[in-house]
């Protein structure tokens, strides 16, 4: 029977150590796969209903071959909250397997690849995390990185709203058991961190604020580029979420030597030329990942009896 997952259901599904390890493996597999990637998404506008549909091609996954249909307001508003966005998961015969809050899925689908990237790109034994943002996206990133980097001990939260950042820090400390504090100074929050995460709605981050050898995980377009390197500043190297063998398809304006994460995972490239190099990882789309994550989330929800059952078909009494 199809099920419906609320934002809280999606959070409960993904905030699980063994489940996240399986998803890290999914992302790694997609980065290393040599098969032809699935086709492009198909966008369909429905003017009479002010909706926009995104149809993603079917891919193999934990529930067999599945495809998804995402429903968003049309035209999309970049600054609008993700409420009211729905994603349907369909079997290869077109039958409905379930639906979930698309905004909540997006937060975790961005966070999981970033967690895998952190394992390959973070400096050895990172202990301090600078978290820029205090929303749902930042929450998902924190919980994923807690699993990906078990050495983390301290989290500094920087948000536009001081009260919101303090509330986030209090809730995060209780949930994770880590020392989580709100930091009013963005420069300090970045300078004292081994790994910095920039999420939507955060104060802008300057890459040159970072300490030597740090990792910047960038999930937004507002991160400022670093100043040109000088002898007193570490080199900034860029890495994007892209499969191995497709580095030429990785655009990064002003950074001609941008690396594909898949090349690093495959062992064909080193992320740093020197230990002091700062890495700037940019989150991006990964073919097949969105559908794989949605289908895996549904399977996990069925296993844990999460979500709300959706009776389909006519019932006779």
Asked if 160 and 201 count as a contact pair (C-beta separation under 8 A), the reply is yes
Tell me which residue of 214, 213, 160, 216 sits closest to 183, measured CA to CA: 160
Q: Three-state SS for 193?
A: coil
Dump strand ranges (E) for the chain: 3-5, 42-46, 51-59, 66-73, 86-91, 96-101, 128-132, 154-158, 179-182, 195-198, 215-218, 236-240, 259-260, 278-282, 308-309
Distance of CA 166 to the CA centre of its chain: 23
Tens of pLDDT, residue by residue, the chain (317 residues): 899 999 999 999 999 999 999 999 999 999 998 666 667 888 888 777 788 899 998 899 888 999 999 999 866 555 555 566 999 999 999 999 999 999 999 999 999 999 999 999 999 999 999 999 999 999 999 999 999 999 999 999 999 889 999 999 999 999 999 999 999 999 999 999 999 999 986 667 887 799 999 999 998 865 555 444 444 456 788 999 889 875 444 445 445 578 999 999 999 999 998 999 999 999 888 999 999 999 999 999 999 999 999 887 655 55
Q: Residue 307 has which token pair?
A: 């979500």
Calpha distance 104→10 (Å, rounded): 6
pTM over 0.85: yes
Sequence-distant (6+) residues with CB within 8 A of 263 are 244, 245, 247, 269
């Amino acid at each position: 029977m199809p099920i419906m997952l609320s934002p809280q259901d999606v959070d409960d599904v993904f905030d699980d150590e063994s489940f996240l390890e399986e998803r890290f493996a999914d992302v790694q597999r997609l980065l290393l796969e040599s098969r032809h990637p699935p086709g492009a998404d198909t966008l369909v506008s429905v003017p009479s209903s002010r909706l926009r549909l995104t149809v993603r091609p079917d891919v193999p996954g934990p529930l067999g071959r599945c495809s998804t249909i995402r429903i968003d307001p049309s035209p999309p508003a970049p600054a609008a909250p993700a409420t009211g966005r729905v994603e349907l998961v369909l079997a290869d015969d077109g039958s409905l397997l379930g639906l979930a809050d698309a905004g909540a899925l997006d937060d975790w689908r961005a966070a999981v690849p970033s967690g895998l990237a952190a394992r390959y790109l973070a400096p050895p034994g990172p202990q301090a995390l600078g978290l820029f943002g205090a929303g749902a996206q930042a929450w998902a990133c924190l919980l994923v990185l807690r699993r990906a980097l078990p050495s983390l001990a301290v989290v500094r939260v920087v948000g536009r709203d001081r009260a919101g950042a303090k509330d986030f820090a209090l809730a995060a400390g209780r949930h994770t058991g880590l020392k989580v504090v709100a930091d009013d100074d963005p420069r300090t929050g970045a300078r004292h961190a081994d790994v910095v995460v920039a999420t939507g709605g955060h104060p802008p981050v300057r890459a040159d604020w970072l300490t030597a050898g740090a990792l910047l995980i960038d999930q937004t377009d507002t991160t400022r580029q670093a100043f040109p390197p000088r002898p007193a500043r570490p080199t900034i190297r860029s890495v994007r979420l892209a499969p191995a063998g497709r580095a030429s398809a990785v655009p990064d304006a002003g950074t001609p030597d941008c690396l594909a994460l898949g090349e690093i995972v495959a062992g064909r490239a080193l992320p740093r030329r020197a230990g002091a190099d700062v890495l700037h990882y940019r989150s991006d789309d990964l073919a097949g990942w969105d559908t794989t994550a949605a289908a895996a989330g549904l399977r996990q929800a069925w296993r844990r009896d999460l979500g709300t059952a959706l009776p389909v078909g006519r019932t006779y009494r």
